[in-house]
Amino acid sequence: MTAHLYCFGESGNSYKVALALTLTDWDWKPIYVDFFNGEARSDAFKTINPMGEVPVFVDGDTTLTQSGVILDYISSKSGKLGGKSAAERREILRWMFWDNHKFSTQIGTTRFMLNFLPEDKRPQGVVPFLQGRLTLAYQLLDEHLSGQDYLVGAALTIADLSCCGYLFYPEPFGFNRADWPHIDAWLTRIATHAHWKGPYDLMPGSPKDRA
């Protein structure tokens, strides 16, 4: 049975899930959500996800929201991308919680403000503040990757997919791969996996569609 991922191309959290589905050879289909015209906040969409957010993953009778939960489900059901031991699994979860709290949320907000929100509507001082916090996060991630190819263990896991998602987007938000050589090598390594694709090649919707 084909699973459905409610998503749109600009959504970094949706991309994490789409990439995991692709790399685990899952039978899935993207369902476009017109976020920029308010579909995610509509009454109809809230019958699918009362939180009014993407991604939403529907696999038969199972409906899941929040990218971390969906990544865990994909890994558990496919038997892939989940580490080699209980200790590695806990380390994977540690990095995913770090990503949700310290990394992706702040990148997502910064990227949205700089690329999708009119300048006169940006709260003063918020972007520089978030970029300062992100610099510390880049430093931590780059240092960790200086001694290993992937975040946990010797192979790609959902921890990598969670943390890398927003970093593959082309819109500027203050991140320059050349400034972080170990992150850069890690992203290059991930992109060499069979079937890897960038966000706008995996999901419908992109800024050029609204130009």
- For residue 210, name the pLDDT band (cuts at 50, 70, 90): confident
Q: How far is CA 152 from the centre of its chain?
A: 17
- The domains found in the chain, sorted by start residue, are 3-80+197-206 (3.40.30.10), 86-191 (1.20.1050.10)
Rounded Cα distance, 118 and 114, in Å? 8
**Residue 74 near residue 65, CB atoms below 8 Å:** no
pTM assigned to the model: 0.97
Assigned token pair, 211: 């130009």
- Asked whether the predicted pLDDT for residue 211 surpasses 80, the reply is no
pLDDT at 175: 98
Q: How far is CA 47 from the centre of its chain?
A: 24
H/E run at residue 58: strand 56-59
Rounded Cα distance, 185 and 18, in Å? 22
Q: How far is CA 173 from the centre of its chain?
A: 15
Q: What is the pLDDT of residues 4-63, one digit of tens each?
A: 999 999 999 999 999 999 999 999 999 999 999 999 999 999 999 999 999 999 999 999
Q: How far is CA 18 from the centre of its chain?
A: 9
Rounded Cα distance, 93 and 97, in Å? 6
**Residue 169 near residue 12, CB atoms below 8 Å:** yes
Rounded Cα distance, 106 and 95, in Å? 15
184 CB burial (10 A radius; 0-12, 13-18, 19+): middle
Sorted by sequence, the CB contacts under 8 Å of residue 84 that are 6+ apart come out as 153, 155
